[in-house]
Amino acid sequence: MKQLILKRWVLFFLAAFVALGALAQDKADSKGKEFWLMFNTNNGIPVLTLFITGEVPTTGTVEIAGLGFSETFSVTPGTVTSVEIPATAIVATSDVVENLGIHVTAVDEVTVYGLNRRQATTDAFLGLPVDILGTEYIAMGYRRSLAGQEQFGIVGTVNGTTVTIIPKNSAGSRVGGVPYSINLNRGETYQLQGENLTGSIVTSTAPIAVFGGNVCGNVPVNITYCDHLVEQLQPVDTWGQSFVTVPLKGRTADTFIILASENNTSVTVNGGSPVMLNRGEFHEYVLGTSSTITASKPVLVAQYSNGTDFDNTVSDPFMMLIPPFEQFEGSYTVTTPATGFSRNHINIVASTASVGTIRLNGAIIPAGSFTPIGSTGFSGAQLDISLGSHTLTSTQPFGVFVYGFDAFDSYGYPGGMSLAPIAQVTTVSLTPENSTTPAGDERCLQATVRDQDNNPLAGIRVDFAVSGANAVNGFANTNASGVAQFCYTPALAGTDNIVATVGGISDNAMNEVTVVADEDSDEDGIPDSEDNCPSVPNPDQEDMDEDGEGDACDNDIDGDGLVNLGDCDPYDPNTGAQTTSFPDIDGDGYGDPGQPTAECGVPEGNVLNGDDCDDRDASVYPGAPEIPGDGIDNNCNGMIDEGSNPFALQEAAAIVVGVGRPFEMIIPAEDPDMHELMEVSFVSGAPAWLNIEMVAVGESAVPNAVRVWGTPPARSYGTIRPVIWAHTTLHQEDSQQLQIRVGNCEHRTWYRDADGDGYGAEEGSVVLVACWQPDGFVMQGGDCNDMDPLVHPEAAEIAGDGIDNNCDGMIDETDNSCYATRVVSFTQGPRADNRGVIDPLRSIPLRALGAPQEDKNHSFVSLGFGGELVLELGSDLYDDGTTAPDLMVVETTWGWAHRPCYDGKGAGTLETMMMHVSANGEDWVQVPGNFCRNVKVDISPVTGEGEGMLPYVRYIRITDTSNPADFNRSANGYDVDGIITCRELFEDMPTNSRIAGKGFNPNFFYESLEDEEALPQPLSFYPNPVKDVLTIQTSSFGDESLQVEVYSLSGVLVYKAAHSADMQSGELQVDLQQLRQGVYLLRLQGEDQQQTLKISKE
């Protein structure tokens, strides 16, 4: 290309900036005013969220036409706006066209990120606006190995769009390599799932949005554990050839996939041997250092977090696209999920010259945070960030990548990118070739970018570098004419060399800087270089406050910090500012904010406080007592009649109901005993068959709850979102949008379980009659205090606490003299992996008090490894004078009862503990031995007469002594269910036998047996996963009636019924269609045996 020489001389300080001026236009990047998005299949029912940011205040709308969903949003610069998307928006089908496209529109440009969140399987994507979507894509995800299917999804943006797909491999009825077409209207979605779909070709007659990933992918192949993978894919014409990457923080290596768009593409990583790829082919790398990737033709690059077991790090897979460095931006506002991730990071890739100019939340990132990436001229940083939104800015473009980890979970996405067709750039021309500019004047240059056919290219980022007498850098994007304009103001005399660069293509020019004679702009006889007010004539050069700015130009002449217009005397620094006051018509001490007056002093009848919301009523002012029922905002806080008992309805869960089956929802007030309803109605969205009325719940004699009920008629399938409204006798009101999905299923009664103890409240709380189990609801009612997990129908009654613990209507009816009655201290140790958190329900020491429960709930406390629990007994325990046991510690364990405490076999190893006893809680003696499972203890070795002996035992200290290396990473140490000190109450079972099988046994399936040959033969069952009816071969049980129970993995009973097998086939069929998607444990209980099956529900 040409070299141009321009020279300038100047005496002023150097300043430079990019000016697009009349050439400016919206550049092709990830910011936009319209988006079409979708959420692909994830395991289970995830929480779906859109995060929206913007550089200017703006508003917009999120709509899903197929669900009747619409929600407005507003954006404040520097913060992130969250919009919750209904779970029903998930595309859960394959090879089916649905109307589930998510339409985001905004008045001004915004950036949108999508989060598909489910504990242990999460990922996020960067949304791409409609103005950069294309008609040619090549799918990228990650192939199936141990778990989920690879998938890609498509959203139509124009009615009547024909989409042609050539699957890389066969998927369902679609044959690999054979093209087929589908038709999409605006907002319609399509998803294809299969084992290996990366490299599938997708073309269309109009722009479409394409998303790639995996339902729950294992990365690398066969490495546990899986996680959801997703990114919105870039059109092929925006792919690049030069990439720089930084490893994920805390990982030993990451997986990369490089996908080719053209035949005979040569790919080189870190200068190694090239790999040749054809169109739709990809190569997978595992890289442990910052790396460079170059290709001879455009490619797509994705960085994947590896599974937890790859390097035994708290993490899991995610997928994150890596843009070429030509597509980096100059500013980003990004966010982490609100909760659920303990480690959150940002990776930055930037030119080494820009290090020290990049700001995070307004503060310069220290140069020491960056590490040079070889001799590439780039540097990388790995930063820790807190939960929430973060803003990054610089005068130079740089790349940002956001990601986070937690136990078996992760997410990751690029912070943003320019999406111009950089692969089409052929020439860059910089003009003018030569120029001379007086010192202090602005110099502008134009770079024109064209393709191989000499056509101008819009939206291309051009980097400008000035060296020589005046060194400065900048960048600009080309307009529709392919022109990017760069302007700078040099300050030093000499020669400047200006280089314009796009990728590896550049052009340069020279600029001569000259000195010009000093001017007198205001013609007051004083040169501008000496004039303290060069724009206004002031030959006297008066400067009262001696700040270097003449009084003729100074906005604060006397230097008292007050602008002249607001200063009572601009020439006297001892006078104050003008005072703003407000007329107080009603004389209550607060003025009318609509009539401010600014004077030097307060006029008669005015006051300084202008916060009165009604200056005609002396009883209305800020801080006035609120009078319930008068319909007036007495205290000017924006709320009417809020009183001391604000009214709100309890939040109702989304439910599924059956066609032709009556259902109801009871929705009480948050504090039902304090409110009386006067009127309820539907505001919108209610079909004719849906009814609403006021009802009384609990002991109330007046209506204090809303009842919504009805019977869906035939062909009423779908989701309705009626808005209910309730008005109280004190003129307080509340509204709430319900979500009711109509399907084909049987109904059950569900109770809200606020405290998570497995039992719901039947009175004063939300009660539902519906098909499937909503979040936060259970089948069992009867909880008399749904705010305390230690109170429920199967809880232990604790004497002396004044509480009806077991909800039988009686308080403290149990004599606890035979059990532990007080927790003296509790120090919980960690899990076996020393990383995860022990379940809060297993961390309540009070569950070791009273009689042992041995039930399906977590009625015990886990000590954790090395943890310690000190208990006081209900009475003094004396030795009986024999070697017979005096006390029994009941432990809940899931190990094999016929194995010793330690046998070196891992899965059969049991948690152990040691015991100390005391009479006064201060002087302790160890009971000889190391114990596991239930243990009956003789206290004669430590009680009686003699030095160091105890007269009796009143306190017991139990310390976990288990070796965490012998256990699964999620093991929680020794579990204490209770202590028994009355010999007649000892369990009728041998010491060291397991007792936890009476109702809740999530990990091991058989009770204590003499030897393993006596174990029941495993049952056969199908299908698994099951969609509706599960068939079980039960011949080993004979013809007896069986109790069938189904538990979630957290131990909540979700199904219970008696069944009998078919007499001839021996098969038993269980209808499970009402269960939600997930993994469950199904228990068959006969008269003499039981077996447990692990099933997966689609």
Give the contacts of 604 (CB within 8 A, at least 6 positions apart). Answer: none
Residue with more model confidence, 56 or 437: 56
Residue with more model confidence, 203 or 624: 203
pLDDT of residue 4: 28
Residue with more model confidence, 835 or 704: 704
For the sheet with 606-607, list strands across it.
597-599, 579-583, 606-607
Instruction: Write the single-letter amino acid at 440.
Output: G
Confidence of residue 118 (pLDDT cuts 50, 70, 90): confident
Q: Lowest-confidence range among 514-523, 678-687, 1028-1037?
A: 514-523
The arithmetic mean of pLDDT across residues 244-260, rounded, is: 96
Q: Are 199 and 281 in contact (CB under 8 A)?
A: yes
* Distance (Å, whole) CA 849 – CA 842: 14
Instruction: Give per-residue pLDDT as tens, 454-510.
Output: 889 888 888 898 998 888 888 888 888 999 999 998 888 888 899 998 877 888 878
Instruction: Give per-residue pLDDT as tens, 579-637.
Output: 888 999 888 889 888 888 878 878 888 888 888 888 888 888 998 887 766 768 888 87
Residue with more model confidence, 822 or 765: 822
State the DSSP H helix or E strand holding residue 777, giving kind and residue range, or none if neither: strand 777-778
Q: Lowest-confidence range among 251-260, 285-294, 474-483?
A: 474-483
- The architecture that CATH gives domain 820-996 is Sandwich (2.60)
Residue (of 304, 520, 558) closest to 411 by Cα position: 304
* 131: helix, strand or coil: helix
Determine the distance from the C-alpha atom of residue 486 to the mean position of all C-alpha atoms in its chain, rounded to a whole number. 40
Q: How far apart are the first and last CA of the chain?
A: 62
The arithmetic mean of pLDDT across residues 81-87, rounded, is: 94
Beta bridge partners of 58: 75
Beta bridge partners of 1097: 1026, 1078
The arithmetic mean of pLDDT across residues 949-969, rounded, is: 89
Q: Are 799 and 874 in contact (CB under 8 A)?
A: yes
- In this structure, what is the dihedral angle of CA atoms 610, 614, 618, 620, given to the nearest 10 degrees? -90
Token duo for residue 750: 């569900």
Number of CB atoms found within 10 A of residue 110's CB: 28
* Distance (Å, whole) CA 131 – CA 390: 26
* 841: helix, strand or coil: helix
Beta bridge partners of 15: 489
pLDDT of residue 1016: 45
Percent of all residues in the chain with a pLDDT value above 90, rounded to a whole number? 39
- Phi, psi dihedrals of residue 131, rounded to the nearest 5°: -70, -10
- Residue 57 DSSP code: -
Q: Is pLDDT above 60 for 643?
A: no
Residue (of 720, 670, 721, 723) closest to 698 by Cα position: 670
- Which CATH number describes the domain made up of 1016-1097? 2.60.40.3080
Q: Lowest-confidence range among 237-246, 353-362, 656-665, 1058-1067?
A: 1058-1067
Instruction: Give per-residue pLDDT as tens, 325-351.
Output: 888 998 999 988 878 888 999 999 999
Determine the distance from the C-alpha atom of residue 96 to the mean position of all C-alpha atoms in its chain, rounded to a whole number. 28
pLDDT of residue 570: 81
pLDDT of residue 987: 60
Confidence of residue 813 (pLDDT cuts 50, 70, 90): low
What 3 state SS string does 915-926 have? EEEECCCCCEEE
- Taking the whole predicted model, whether its pTM rises above 0.75 is answered as no
Q: For the chain, how big is the Rg over CA atoms in Å?
A: 37
Determine the distance from the C-alpha atom of residue 984 to the mean position of all C-alpha atoms in its chain, rounded to a whole number. 54
Q: Is pLDDT above 70 for 1051?
A: no
- Phi, psi dihedrals of residue 1038, rounded to the nearest 5°: 75, -150
Beta bridge partners of 566: none
Q: Is pLDDT above 50 for 435?
A: yes
Number of CB atoms found within 10 A of residue 3's CB: 12
In the CATH hierarchy, which fold is given to the domain comprising 329-414?
Immunoglobulin-like (2.60.40)
pLDDT of residue 384: 95
Confidence of residue 10 (pLDDT cuts 50, 70, 90): very low
* Distance (Å, whole) CA 420 – CA 234: 11
pLDDT of residue 884: 86
The yes or no reply on domain 655-778 and CATH 2.60.40 is yes
Residue with more model confidence, 932 or 69: 69
CATH homologous superfamily for the domain 425-430+442-513: Immunoglobulins (2.60.40.10)
pLDDT of residue 13: 25
Confidence of residue 893 (pLDDT cuts 50, 70, 90): low
By CB atoms closer than 10 A (0-12, 13-18, 19+), residue 250 is: middle
Determine the distance from the C-alpha atom of residue 129 to the mean position of all C-alpha atoms in its chain, rounded to a whole number. 22
pLDDT of residue 819: 87
Residue (of 999, 958, 984) closest to 1083 by Cα position: 999
Task: Count Cα neighbours of 825 within 13 Å in the Cβ-side half-sphere.
Answer: 9
Give the pairing of strands 677-684 and 606-607.
unpaired
* Distance (Å, whole) CA 674 – CA 702: 10
Q: Lowest-confidence range among 15-24, 359-368, 970-979, 1009-1018?
A: 15-24
Number of CB atoms found within 10 A of residue 61's CB: 14
User: Which region holds residue 357: left if phi is over 0, alpha if psi is between -120 and 50, else beta?
Assistant: alpha
* Distance (Å, whole) CA 552 – CA 559: 14
- In this structure, what is the dihedral angle of CA atoms 1062, 1063, 1067, 1073, given to the nearest 10 degrees? 10
Token duo for residue 174: 């679609």
Instruction: Give per-residue pLDDT as tens, 295-326.
Output: 999 999 999 999 988 998 888 899 999 999 88
* Distance (Å, whole) CA 566 – CA 1046: 76
Confidence of residue 1052 (pLDDT cuts 50, 70, 90): low
pLDDT of residue 800: 61
Give the contacts of 106 (CB within 8 A, at least 6 positions apart). Answer: 33, 34, 52, 54, 58, 59, 60, 75
Q: Are 859 and 796 in contact (CB under 8 A)?
A: yes
pLDDT of residue 273: 95
Q: Which residue has the tokens 């924006």?
A: 638
* Distance (Å, whole) CA 215 – CA 93: 11
The arithmetic mean of pLDDT across residues 449-458, rounded, is: 87
Give the pairing of strands 434-438 and 505-514.
parallel
Residue (of 200, 227, 257, 393) closest to 317 by Cα position: 227
How confident is the prediction for the chain on average, in pLDDT? 83
Q: Is pLDDT above 70 for 216?
A: yes
* Distance (Å, whole) CA 935 – CA 956: 14
Confidence of residue 440 (pLDDT cuts 50, 70, 90): confident
Instruction: Give per-residue pLDDT as tens, 175-184.
Output: 999 999 999 9
The arithmetic mean of pLDDT across residues 716-722, rounded, is: 89
Q: Is pLDDT above 60 for 15?
A: no
Token duo for residue 507: 């052009």
Residue with more model confidence, 551 or 136: 136
Q: Is pLDDT above 50 for 997?
A: no
Q: Are 732 and 754 in contact (CB under 8 A)?
A: no
pLDDT of residue 301: 98
Residue with more model confidence, 895 or 911: 911
Residue with more model confidence, 313 or 1076: 313
Confidence of residue 3 (pLDDT cuts 50, 70, 90): very low
Q: Is pLDDT above 60 for 5?
A: no
Confidence of residue 9 (pLDDT cuts 50, 70, 90): very low
The arithmetic mean of pLDDT across residues 93-114, rounded, is: 96
Residue (of 875, 759, 750) closest to 806 by Cα position: 759
Number of CB atoms found within 10 A of residue 77's CB: 12
Confidence of residue 1057 (pLDDT cuts 50, 70, 90): confident
The arithmetic mean of pLDDT across residues 809-836, rounded, is: 80
Confidence of residue 952 (pLDDT cuts 50, 70, 90): very high
